[in-house]
Structure 1
């Protein structure tokens, strides 16, 4: 007689542990951390039909239904191992990417790692499309990071020279400065896009005074 298997969602729920949301998070309710295995990037990994899937996606789809094509789950708490569906919302790949940058959780660990990877690929002669495919970002983002470096590269070199005598502490300070500029640059870009969109909307014509 075949052995009865426990449904994946039950196995997932049995491994959840409640912990406070990370400091600085806007979320007040506790995170539900998956205590099983993890993928290399910190997401919970659970076996479903002989295939490992992300635990938080399983939790979301069990409660909310299928995730629409082109949509990604954004952790509002910033905790990748969290499976509390109330801490999740859907968004685009770009929104998810910049959530990760703001939290320092991007696949390359820090925002400047993404930048350096793009610059290395450009030096190697790769095309914009090849880099975008390799790093799982879009072509516009590759171009944006390249333009960012054209603007900030010289100042980065100057700061690197000044901080070099301080060893690892100086290097950490340098990378923190660069990460902050990267996030500020994205926020400014997003703000400009919103402003342009608002200005492009038809404005009601004011009626002349009679």
Structure 2
């Protein structure tokens, strides 16, 4: 079995490591053969490192050299940390070039405290951020830390800004989406053709109740998608209709009244039992 080369096998200032560093500085490419690599170190055949070990070290060497070029002096201020890692773009954004989180916002640490770069920039250039407030972007560019592009707002302001700029996830882009865009359009078209109820569609598409189907066919949910939108055809309950239902209930069953006026039986029963519309005589 070919032994794996490890950095710990030699001391920090050993001749072998020195030759290794010199070689990697000029041949930092994973395409170089292991034989060339080992011969440059003067290693015997039985001590040839694995290809994985060579590539790992070369990649780490390149990363380390790039990090050293951008190294920030110790005890630097928060302003210095931001300014040394900022690039100005053509559209006026000051993009933070340091670490970024999954959403694209810059992130950094200062005095054992973690900051998002745009919030740190607001603190440095504009002042205190009130508790509970968000720092919003006028430019909608997450890595931007230009103080002229930043403003304060509540969570409601943030959600409103997102909606106004049409940046929210829609349809199948949502992590908890149950239907695809094609299925939503199909549900609307099936219902518009008639001869099928909300409950039947709910059973077909795996919903526990018909409320979600009702919201889809009436356009309350997925308003950005196509398909035939069906207006809510349930009758408007008025005091006159309530009196009619209660009068009919003296000689007719609730299910018959429900079919007659097109109102669900549960609503009819609540009216008859005066659970709703109690004020109507």
Question: Aligning the two structures, in what range does the TM-score lie when normalised by the shorter sequence?
Answer: 0.3 to 0.5
TM-score under structure 2 length normalisation: 0.37
TM-score under structure 1 length normalisation: 0.47
Q: Which structure would you say has the larger Rg?
A: 2
Query: By percentage of residues, which structure has more helix?
Result: 1
